[in-house]
Amino acid sequence: MAIVMKISQRFQTGKKIEFMELEKQFAALERQGVLLKGERLLPLASREPGNTLIWQARFPDLAAAEKALELIASSPEHTRLYDQQKQFMQDTWLEFYEVLDY
């Protein structure tokens, strides 16, 4: 069963520019193949406020999504950027969704 993994990060509203500059560096690492490529979303009309960044990716199954999390956690490049970015975060959470292919 296919899975969508979403990582949501709520950032301080007054630090959007700083947060997004670091997020661009994460995206650059994805384009270089250093990190797993995902899709980034900012809410326009949502339950989540506009200062929430959502990163999501699709995986063939839950095991593949969990393996991706392990790769992220073991990446020194990700850790370096995350350590800079986390000062701007208010909250972060992880969600998994089953893709229904009817």
59: domain CATH number is 3.30.70.100
CA dist 11 and 73 (Å) reads 20
Q: Are 2 and 98 in contact (CB under 8 A)?
A: yes
pLDDT tens for 6-51 read 999 999 999 999 999 999 999 999 999 999 999 999 999 999 999 9
pTM beyond cutoff 0.75? yes
Residue 101 pLDDT class (50, 70, 90 cuts): confident
Q: Which domain holds residue 22?
A: 3-98
How many domains is the chain partitioned into structurally?
1
**pLDDT computed for residue 42 by the predictor:** 97
pLDDT tens for 23-33 read 999 999 999 99
